[in-house]
Amino acid sequence: MTNKDDQLAGDNQLLGELARRNWIILVVLILLSLLFRNKELTLGIASGGLTAVCGYQWLHCSLVKALSEQGQPAVNGFQISYALRLGALVVMLLLLVAVVKVNPLGLIIGLSVVVINIMLTTVKHAFFK
């Protein structure tokens, strides 16, 4: 195996860890919210977390596809996918806030799942490897 192959294997392992840890953090946050016995808060955390994790997965798939292809069509496809993803996230957040009326604090906490995960991963790789 070449050095580039080793790097790709390490990157794939890291992305897999991030994806799994997103779900673990979301479940932990939902379980912690149950301690408050507030359905609206729990719904907000679950809704925000699912939105964040799905957005992350969509971005991951778009990047993998763009990097596996070459040339301007790959770049254009990624840009279109990125714009669609942002539009879908905006629509989802508007529906959650305006129609479903989820708890705003819960929504913010749920949307932070990926950020929390990236921070934990950064600390882990900076201090424990």
Q: Which two tokens stand for residue 4?
A: 């580039």
Task: Give 39-96 pLDDT, tens digit per residue.
Answer: 999 999 999 999 999 999 999 888 888 888 888 888 898 999 999 999 999 999 999 9
Per the structure, the complete domain to which residue 44 belongs is given by: 3-127
Q: Which two tokens stand for residue 61?
A: 């798939």
The rounded distance, in Å, linking the Cα atoms of 108 and 47 is 10
Q: Which residues contact residue 36 at a Cβ distance below 8 angstroms, ignoring those fewer than 6 apart?
A: 42
Can you give the pTM of this predicted structure? 0.86
Of residues 8 and 58, the one with the higher pLDDT is 58
Residues in the chain: 129
Count: domains in the chain:
1
Q: Which residues contact residue 97 at a Cβ distance below 8 angstroms, ignoring those fewer than 6 apart?
A: 104, 107
Query: What is the Cβ-side half-sphere exposure of residue 129, based on CA atoms within 13 angstroms?
Result: 7
